[in-house]
A and B are shown apart, each in its own frame.
Chain A
Amino acid sequence: MLAQFLRRFLFLTAISLMVVWVVSELAYRLIQGDTARPPKTIELVIPLGTAERIAAGEPPLEIPSEMIFVVGDTLLVVNQDRVEHTLGPVWVPAGSSASLRLDTANDYVYTCSFQPSQLQNITVKQSANWKSRLAALWYGTPPTVMFLLVYSLVMFPLKKKEALSSKRKTQT
């Protein structure tokens, strides 16, 4: 009976590992987009004359209104303008550069001085790397195994030893 249970448990564990891997991989591809990459430094350049354009009610040049990062990326803000600029916690005096490491996955709406709306959307996503894939397996597999095990025990109860032996006898 115990051997039968262990065999079933191992079989369902293998099935669960495959199911969780496939589901998490599909989820990554659907939700994460282009985040299957190691962290890197992403440069945001504030061109000369940006403050003047904003004051005139014109959109800034070459600055996206939304930026997507992965956890561990570094945002490097290069201020080429004649005046200081701020982006949320990042304050960059004129003609200098400041960088911030993005450590927490979240959707941020930062106040900023170089967008006409005074707001900048920054999305930080969890990177789809081998660590997050292992984490998905680590957290997803045990409940899947338990679910399948309970389901299989209800639908296909383990056979008692006598029942098994009598079945074998009738077969022979």
Chain B
Amino acid sequence: MKPRWLFIGGVFGLLALAWAAAMLIENLPYQYQGTLFEPAQPVGDFLLTDQNGQSWRLSDHRGKALVLFFGYTFCPDVCPVTLADFLNIQKTLGRKAENVEFIFITVDPQRDTAEHLKTFLSKISPSFIGLTGTQPELEAVWNTFGVTVQIDPVEGPADYLVSHTARTYVIDPAGDLRLTYSFRTEPDVVAQDVAHLLDEK
């Protein structure tokens, strides 16, 4: 066989191998990078008040993926960082972000009124939803998501800080809890998982 034909055969062989490898990678099942609930965990319905003073019921938001975080507006560290990560997740998702709602549920109902949440979130992203409620309403929601809340008195204008769970939760469009992420998980990681969740049939 002439060397030229050997060369052409080799090139075609390599292309066929590359195509086969691409097909293999394409068909590999996606592996979620967050903590995955299998089977998905049903979430009991709840009713809270958003930053506009309107009622917000979980079951009214089926069909969209929900990214939830529990925090408070006076938080000096974890909450602003997580909300900044939410902005990055939203940006990374691009047009898919239209099917995602970013929700901030307060752990400090005493100070986080609807009005205060509105002022706070308008500086970060008006598209984010802030939820508050009465202490018993919120406690029921915290228990659903395993959120611990502890008031720590401090000296100074803040009067007290709130120690709280810093986990991010993702609820799928069917309304079930599917994923959680620890504090400071890379926004790209969350965005990839959420994008895939939206593509699931």
Complex interface: chain B residues within 8 A of A103 (CB): 33
Known contacts A84-B146, A86-B146; is-contact A91 B35 (Cβ 8 Å)? yes
Say yes or no: B31 contacts A101, CB within 8 Å: yes
Which of A84, A86, A99 contacts B36 (CB under 8 A)?
Answer: A99
Complex interface: chain B residues within 8 A of A96 (CB): 37, 39, 41
A15 to chain B, nearest CB (A): 30
- The yes or no answer to B181 lying at the interface (CB within 8 A) is yes
Say yes or no: A89 contacts B33, CB within 8 Å: no
Query: In the bound complex, what is the Cα–Cα distance between A96 and B181 (angstroms)?
Result: 17
Complex interface: chain A residues within 8 A of B167 (CB): 89, 91
Say yes or no: A90 contacts B35, CB within 8 Å: yes
Say yes or no: B180 contacts A91, CB within 8 Å: yes
**Contact mask for chain B residues 165-201; partner A; CB cutoff 8 A; 1 contact, 0 none:** 0010000000000001110000000000000000000
Known contacts A84-B146, A86-B146; is-contact A93 B32 (Cβ 8 Å)? no
- The yes or no answer to A49 lying at the interface (CB within 8 A) is no
Say yes or no: A98 contacts B37, CB within 8 Å: yes
Complex interface: chain B residues within 8 A of A97 (CB): 37-39
Which of A88-110 touch B at CB < 8 Å? 88-91, 93, 96-101, 103
Query: In the bound complex, what is the Cα–Cα distance between A93 and B38 (angstroms)?
Result: 12
Complex interface: chain B residues within 8 A of A99 (CB): 35-36, 38
How many residues in B have their beta carbons less than 8 Å from beta carbons of A? Answer: 15
Say yes or no: B36 contacts A100, CB within 8 Å: yes
Known contacts A101-B33, A103-B33; is-contact A89 B182 (Cβ 8 Å)? yes
Say yes or no: B181 contacts A89, CB within 8 Å: yes
Query: In the bound complex, what is the Cα–Cα distance between A59 and B167 (angstroms)?
Result: 28
B70 to chain A, nearest CB (A): 12
B58 to chain A, nearest CB (A): 16
Say yes or no: A98 contacts B181, CB within 8 Å: no
A78 to chain B, nearest CB (A): 10
The interface of chain A, by Cβ under 8 A from chain B, is: 84, 86, 88-91, 93, 96-101, 103
24 A-B pairs whose Cβ atoms sit less than 8 Å apart in the complex? A86-B146, A89-B35, A89-B167, A89-B180, A89-B181, A89-B182, A90-B35, A90-B180, A91-B35, A93-B41, A93-B146, A96-B37, A96-B39, A97-B38, A97-B39, A98-B35, A98-B38, A98-B180, A99-B38, A100-B35, A100-B36, A101-B31, A101-B33, A103-B33
- Extra contacts besides A84-B146, A91-B167, A101-B31 (17): CB < 8 Å: A88-B182, A89-B180, A89-B182, A90-B180, A91-B146, A93-B146, A96-B37, A96-B39, A96-B41, A97-B37, A97-B38, A98-B36, A98-B180, A99-B36, A99-B38, A101-B33, A103-B33
